[in-house]
Structure 1
Amino acid sequence: MTYAAKAVNLVKTYGSGDTAVHALAGVSVEFKKQQFTAIMGPSGSGKSTLMHCMAGLDTATAGESYIGETEITKLKDKEITNLRRDRLGFIFQSFNLVPTLTAAENITLPLDIAGRSVDKEWFQEVTKRLGLSSRLGHRPSELSGGQQQRVACARALVAKPEIIFGDEPTGNLDSNSSKEVLQILRTAVDTDKQTVVIVTHDPRAASYADRVVFLADGKIVTEIENPTTDEILATMTEFEGR
């Protein structure tokens, strides 16, 4: 099996009858292991909905979604919660750090909740690589936005998940911090053999990926392998001009 996650004819509908909105209209896609994939598309194209349904953060109306060989569309709520905790890592636009915890406590929180021991050597490696070694005793309010997002990246990496999902992970960051976070994710794939899938509207962010999947009106319309920023921009312009 070469994929870390896949969707088969995934449908997500909000509302019913004449007012129904089809956020996903039968999407089938695979995310390969040890690959960095970016999901792009105009506002309202279904890109965040696709990621949320595939990561067990939202339930699909129809179709199947898999993490590895586990079909998450058949799992009960508690089983999905456990799967997200034990097998997935998340990086959100809003950082999602616990304000009363230190950076170190935020990083180990998913492992602590799961009752799993922290690999101290790996923790030191990740926090050193992310430039957080001297900030581990600080609370989120004492850190810059870029540092907070690096803490969120460390939290995702330290647990060694099967796949890291990022929802606009650079959306709240300046260009320098944004670049840092994208390089962290790129290194996670290249060096740590991690699998990363992000939703982004930023062509520069997507250019760090091995593959960009484009959605429009709840459907995948095209994809680009080894993309450049210019190729991504040209593709986006094409869709917005339709």
Structure 2
Amino acid sequence: MQNQPAARARALTKVYGDGDSRVVALSSVDVEFYSGRFTAIMGPSGSGKSTLMHCVAGLDAPTSGEVFLGDAELADMTDNQLTALRRDRVGFVFQAFNLLPTLTAWENITLPLDLAGREPDRELADAIVDAVGLRDRLHHRPAQLSGGQQQRVACARALITNPDVVFADEPTGALDSRSSADLLDLLRTSVDRFGRTVVMVTHEPAAAAYADRVLFLADGRLVDELTAPTADRVLDRMKHLERVAV
């Protein structure tokens, strides 16, 4: 349901190291990611963007604070439960495509289901394959696909489990402009057509403009938010944050 948080964090703090090497990556962050919405996370280099996403996605444990996926608090989960949650309820799209080279596109897409011992929902699978435009490439291995096609396979893999949230960390970083636009269109479609919740870390204002809202981080804190973003408005906010950081 829209306007209900699919994932949220309270007083989220992440500290690396100690003594002179102590770095506060996140400092008491409160954030909600709403169901059926596309949220982009931006900020200057070192602002804590990826750390926030990794903690909310259960890939990294916070130093303190609370993280919830739906009603489930991640701190209450065992390692096995966290593994199952990341496999079954969360989808991931990274800058590195992370495809297995010996598997076909289809086998890479269905890998999370295979690991869980589940069969794909054929109706959903057909809709996703059509959405990513890879029906004639399903039997090709990654080396036989372009970078944009490989990233679309990775996106299909993230959607095939019907996850609560899809987390995308700089998903267009290794793509050319045309492939980037195709991938962002696909993430937008996954929200509008499939009702997915997407959280994307990006440094590109044009990419953030595909989102419903943009959150801005600086020095490990949420400092600003923008709804109905355009590339120009996002760029203006980023320039302001970078001036303040100097």
TM range (shorter): over 0.9
**What is the TM-score normalised by the length of structure 1?**
0.98
Task: Tell me what 2:189 maps to.
Answer: 187
- Deviation (angstroms), 1:19: 2.0
Task: Tell me what 1:169 maps to.
Answer: 171
Matched residue type, 2:84: N
**What is the TM-score normalised by the length of structure 2?**
0.97
Whole-angstrom distance in 2 between the partners of 1:231 and 1:129:
29
Q: SS of 2:110's equivalent?
A: helix
Out of 91, 104, 107, the residue aligned to residue 106 of structure 2 is 104
Matched residue type, 2:165: I
Out of 143, 146, 158, the residue aligned to residue 144 of structure 1 is 146
Out of 119, 133, 136, the residue aligned to residue 134 of structure 1 is 136
- Deviation (angstroms), 1:230: 0.7
Whole-angstrom distance in 2 between the partners of 1:126 and 1:189:
12
Matched residue type, 1:128: D
Task: Tell me what 1:39 maps to.
Answer: 41
| 1:73 and 2:75 aligned | yes
Matched residue type, 1:35: R
Task: Tell me what 2:117 maps to.
Answer: 115
Q: Which structure 1 residue ranges, 5 or more long, are not aligned? A: none
Q: SS of 1:214's equivalent?
A: strand
Whole-angstrom distance in 1 between the partners of 2:123 and 2:139:
18
- Deviation (angstroms), 1:17: 2.2
Task: Tell me what 1:5 maps to.
Answer: 7
Whole-angstrom distance in 1 between the partners of 2:233 and 2:83:
38
| Structure 1 segments of 4+ aligned residues over 6 angstroms from their partners | none
CA RMSD of the aligned region, Å? 0.9
Task: Tell me what 1:212 maps to.
Answer: 214
Out of 60, 63, 80, the residue aligned to residue 61 of structure 1 is 63
- Deviation (angstroms), 1:124: 1.8
- Deviation (angstroms), 1:112: 0.7
| 1:241 and 2:236 aligned | no
Matched residue type, 1:230: D
Matched residue type, 2:82: I
Task: Tell me what 1:89 maps to.
Answer: 91
Q: How many residues align?
A: 242
| 1:49 and 2:51 aligned | yes
